[in-house]
Amino acid sequence: MMVIALLPLALALDSNGPRVASLAAKMHCNCGCGDVLSECLHAECKARGPLKQEIAAAIEQGKTDGQILEAMRARYGATILVTPPFRGFDMLLWIVPVAAAVIVVVAAWWRLPRKQ
């Protein structure tokens, strides 16, 4: 009975394979590995399949790529996206690493011996 219920999703994965793969390349796997979803190769990964099925189901509902990525961000947080949006609180995902790098460079420059 479960196989019959999952058959439409399996067919959706096949017919929309390139689009699912394209969207999976824009998301991280949330199994904890830190890999891009399309590149997660853990044999025992329990997140990869359901995430791809969720993407395929959204495609079947007629959602655009932007709507699908936004829904995944809303459900799992901005860190699931490989490139998080530059708006609201998510701006910190862009600003903090850049600010930290600038602080390190300035601190290193400050500590350099100066010729007088």
The pLDDT of residue 75: 93
Across the chain, which has 116 residues, the per-10-residue mean pLDDT values are 48 70 91 86 86 94 94 90 76 84 92 75
The pLDDT of residue 6: 47
Q: Is 20 exposed, middle or buried (0-12, 13-18, 19+ CB in 10 A)?
A: buried
Residue closest to 49 by CA, chosen among 18, 77, 13: 13
Residues forming beta bridges with residue 28, ordered by sequence position: 36
- Indicate the CATH number of 2-84 among 3.30.930.10, 3.90.1150.10, 1.10.8.640, 1.10.8.50: 1.10.8.640
The pLDDT of residue 27: 93
pTM: 0.63
The pLDDT of residue 26: 92
